[in-house]
Structure 1
């Protein structure tokens, strides 16, 4: 879990005060688990990887938000979900510098910021996962249920905004344990920001993260994308192979980046509840596994713009226009790029114009 990733003290740390008898069998006492090497690893690894994730994530998701707002192009449900997904990723990235500082030093930002950063992390995490699920559902109806989706097109954007608001409110509701139980705690390494939980609360928070933050979105994505691929295979369209590759990439990225962390977190939660870990080396390996897998899961937010937004033809066109207006691209390069795309589209036939103006075959 997140709080355990920044607390290098363990349940093995005991302070025994007793009068030593003449004959003591020291093998009967639990030895302190020294984790100075784990602390050193975190102080070098986590701040560096968090810095890379923050820079890349702000760049990609920032471009998505600026492009959508500048061109006011929230014309489809997917547009609304993508904008909210980028905002969720940006909010999530705001928490990483605080965790990086706490790893290098200690928690120096006070109790209010401790609660705020935890809640912000949790809200952005849940909302991001639920929005990925909403995107897959929208694509399912756009492709598999195209006729019914077209009939409801006039109300689609409004419905997506309502769904997005519900996603944010539900994510905030799931973040109440962080608001209630997060506190500052003194340890041998200084002040920590962590959650003080009993076993039942640990099971609840870990269970909600595993269910809402992984299993439910994964099942929905697999269901929707399997039917989408089946529909694409039956369709006569030049872009279906590309669309299928994109779908496979989306699912594989989700699994490769999220499965390791959720698996490790499940094992760590079971160990915390049952207090079964008595081996110091195993505890150290778990700490490293949590740090590495968690960093991998965090890095996924850097890929969301490329997997969901930048791949759209209309979005890329608007992004090029924005870069020109910001002075990052000359008008000649923009015209050349647009001309090449237009020439390529004319060679592919009339079906290409439908792809350029819709999201039907742009997963």
Structure 2
């Protein structure tokens, strides 16, 4: 999500237009003029001062709101892991959710610095390189972790027997997978790390570097989307084919299917528009500025929704958040009873109540280990 922000000193894209381009060699009707085509092109390829002010105000307000909500939500997720789950971070889902919240939090913390780097020409080159590098790493890691969460849910639901055999190595496998995601994110960010100083220069090599970084981001998005759709489709098919004998179990299945659809739709709604704009820019550089600024802001909003969609939908997560607010002395926190206090103690074993979406561990019936598999959704220990 290495999008640009407004720069009042940016040169007009019209200065570098090739007037031999086929775009300007079309046959005009008697009602069309060359000036009309230029005005239409200018609307998307350059911004007038009044347009810059309007978009600057919009982006500033949107980024402030995104920053506050996103930092708050992701800090709550990280705090619940640090304060209430430090001895229970055993499932791969817990590990991936923790790293996803960390990646989104770091990405949002880098947002003010990213804006400063984009709009200033006087910052040290080392600072610009470090800012772009951290921004790129957290962007790629966040997308890849969404794919890992989808694969983890697929393994728990569809490959439950394999996961049961690996239950003693789950913690190690999860940590290795998370470390691999961060390492791969660093590799994917190498073009921005090595050529960060090219972004404010106007040369052929600079455009090639920008095309490479945009192409990598598009590829990572497509890979993540393909994995999410594939895994959730198979999970939905397995859930629909499994028999249900109780109304409560059928309700949980319907809730799980609806939540999976919401996860994919939200990912598409907030990330796909910006990816499409990047694709258009690869075909016609310097254009679609208004679309880029708008869809970039939309893409950052996804970092605010991830804590809600992937963590706070779980009952136990919500309880941990309420306990955190109560321990912090927040007057809006619900009252915690004595029974609730004892149920979250470190010495007490985790419960296996069926509540939400994220599968944590499969529980096999002793009478029929193949045809009666019970799943726990969104408990997220």
TM range (shorter): 0.7 to 0.9
| Structure 1 partner of 2:321 | 319
For the residues of structure 1 that align with 2:255 and 2:338, how far apart are their CA atoms? 24
For the residues of structure 2 that align with 1:337 and 1:44, how far apart are their CA atoms? 50
Answering whether residue 132 of structure 2 is matched by residue 118 of structure 1, we say yes
Flag the 1:318–1:13 CA change in 2: closer, same or farther, 3 A: same
Answering whether residue 167 of structure 2 is matched by residue 153 of structure 1, we say yes
| Structure 1 partner of 2:107 | 92
Q: CA deviation at 1:2?
A: 3.8
Q: CA deviation at 1:327?
A: 1.6
Q: CA deviation at 1:195?
A: 10
1:90-140 alpha-carbon deviations (Å, 9 max, x no partner): 11001211244467x635542222111111110000000000000000000
Flag the 1:77–1:352 CA change in 2: closer, same or farther, 3 A: closer
| Structure 2 partner of 1:346 | none
Flag the 1:288–1:296 CA change in 2: closer, same or farther, 3 A: same
Answering whether residue 231 of structure 2 is matched by residue 224 of structure 1, we say yes
Answering whether residue 117 of structure 2 is matched by residue 81 of structure 1, we say no
1:207-238 alpha-carbon deviations (Å, 9 max, x no partner): 111011x1000000001000111122233224
Answering whether residue 306 of structure 2 is matched by residue 304 of structure 1, we say yes
Q: Is the 8 A contact 1:310 1:316 kept in 2?
A: yes
| Structure 1 partner of 2:214 | 206
For the residues of structure 2 that align with 1:337 and 1:208, how far apart are their CA atoms? 51
Answering whether residue 77 of structure 2 is matched by residue 69 of structure 1, we say no
For the residues of structure 2 that align with 1:193 and 1:118, how far apart are their CA atoms? 15
For the residues of structure 1 that align with 2:174 and 2:294, how far apart are their CA atoms? 35
Q: CA deviation at 1:318?
A: 2.1
Q: Is the 8 A contact 1:50 1:295 kept in 2?
A: yes
Alignment of 1:193-342 (within 5 A): 197-212=205-220, 214-235=221-242, 236=244, 237-238=249-250, 239-272=252-285, 283=287, 286-328=288-330, 333-335=335-337
Does 71-80 or 309-318 show the bigger shift? 309-318
Q: Is the 8 A contact 1:107 1:193 kept in 2?
A: no
Flag the 1:258–1:169 CA change in 2: closer, same or farther, 3 A: same
Q: Is the 8 A contact 2:99 2:145 kept in 1?
A: yes
Unaligned runs of 5+ in 1: 15-26, 186-191, 278-282, 340-350
Flag the 1:58–1:330 CA change in 2: closer, same or farther, 3 A: closer
1:294-323 alpha-carbon deviations (Å, 9 max, x no partner): 110110000001100011222222222222
Answering whether residue 180 of structure 2 is matched by residue 180 of structure 1, we say no
For the residues of structure 1 that align with 2:59 and 2:180, how far apart are their CA atoms? 33
Q: What's the secondary structure of 1:334's corresponding residue?
A: coil
For the residues of structure 1 that align with 2:77 and 2:96, how far apart are their CA atoms? 12
Q: Is the 8 A contact 1:88 1:124 kept in 2?
A: yes
- Count of residues in correspondence between the two structures: 321
| Structure 1 partner of 2:353 | 353
Larger helix share, 1 or 2: 1
For the residues of structure 1 that align with 2:230 and 2:47, how far apart are their CA atoms? 46
For the residues of structure 2 that align with 1:329 and 1:139, how far apart are their CA atoms? 36
Normalising by structure 1, we get a TM-score of 0.79
Q: CA deviation at 1:292?
A: 0.6
Flag the 1:215–1:331 CA change in 2: closer, same or farther, 3 A: closer
Q: CA deviation at 1:245?
A: 1.1
For the residues of structure 2 that align with 1:226 and 1:34, how far apart are their CA atoms? 43
Answering whether residue 177 of structure 2 is matched by residue 163 of structure 1, we say yes
For the residues of structure 1 that align with 2:197 and 2:295, how far apart are their CA atoms? 25
Q: CA deviation at 1:175?
A: 1.1
